[in-house]
């Protein structure tokens, strides 16, 4: 199995490790984070250094995944992805064996599809996204780069989510709705109309 660097060592990283171990295509080489954390918090994997160490680490471990979470802002995930990209990192696509990704769907590198998620026919998911546990991306929907579709969120058919947006746990986006870039949709929200760029939406519309 290929070794894989994980960039970011918090709670989302631990969930990513579980998916990576289940998938069985990569082995976790270690974790890069701004501080060395307790070994138990890293599920026993080594802390390899900080962001400044990435040029040297990527020479030894050329594959990397951004494992920082995303709620209010995509900025940290975007900055790390772009830094890794500039350094020539190879980005895998990680798909849990407990997820379903249609053979007619497209999922770009740097994205992780977590346990129980479904990506249906002709859906497209961009780079560096999180499709979290039990999320649904229905047929013909498009999720642009650097988005987080959180646990149990439901994107119905022909939904478009633009770059850097966050869809909270259990949210439902109606068929054909367009959500512009850098929007935040709160947990449990029901979105029935389009949202403009940068909207923070917590209720029903």
- Please tell me the predicted confidence (pLDDT) of residue 34: 81
- Please tell me the predicted confidence (pLDDT) of residue 189: 97
- Please tell me the predicted confidence (pLDDT) of residue 39: 64
Where do the domains of the chain lie, and which CATH numbers do they carry?
A: 2-86 (3.40.50.20), 93-205 (2.160.10.10)
Place of tokens 């772009």: 82
- Please tell me the predicted confidence (pLDDT) of residue 205: 57
Q: Decide: 166 and 146 in contact? Cβ < 8 Å.
A: no
- This prediction's pTM: 0.95
- Please tell me the predicted confidence (pLDDT) of residue 40: 66
Q: What DSSP state is assigned to residue 10?
A: S
Residue numbers in the chain where pLDDT is lower than 50: none
- Please tell me the predicted confidence (pLDDT) of residue 37: 72
Question: How many CA atoms within 13 Å lie on the side-chain side of 20?
Answer: 28
Rounded Cα distance, 87 and 84, in Å: 5
- Please tell me the predicted confidence (pLDDT) of residue 204: 64
Q: Decide: 94 and 113 in contact? Cβ < 8 Å.
A: yes
- Please tell me the predicted confidence (pLDDT) of residue 69: 93
Sheet of 142-143: strands edge to edge?
106-107, 124-125, 142-143, 160-161, 178-179
């Amino acid at each position: 199995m290929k070794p894989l660097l994980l960039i970011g060592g918090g709670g989302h990283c631990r969930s990513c490790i579980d998916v990576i171990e289940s998938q069985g295509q990569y082995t976790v080489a270690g974790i890069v984070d701004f501080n060395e954390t307790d070994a138990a918090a890293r599920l026993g994997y080594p802390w390899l250094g900080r962001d400044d160490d990435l040029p040297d680490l990527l020479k030894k471990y050329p594959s990397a995944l951004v494992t920082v979470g995303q709620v209010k802002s995509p900025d940290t995930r975007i900055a790390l992805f772009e830094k890794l990209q500039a350094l020539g990192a190879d980005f895998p696509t990680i798909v849990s064996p407990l997820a379903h990704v249609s053979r007619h769907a497209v999922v770009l590198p740097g994205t992780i599809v977590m346990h129980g998620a479904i990506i249906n026919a002709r859906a497209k998911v961009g780079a560096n996204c999180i499709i979290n546990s039990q999320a649904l991306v229905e047929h013909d929907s498009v999720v642009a780069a650097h988005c987080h579709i959180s646990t149990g969120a439901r994107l119905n058919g022909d939904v478009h989510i633009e770059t850097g947006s966050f869809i909270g746990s259990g949210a439902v986006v109606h068929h054909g709705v367009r959500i512009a870039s850098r929007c935040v949709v709160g947990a449990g929200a029901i979105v029935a109309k389009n949202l403009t760029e940068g909207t923070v939406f917590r209720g029903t519309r």
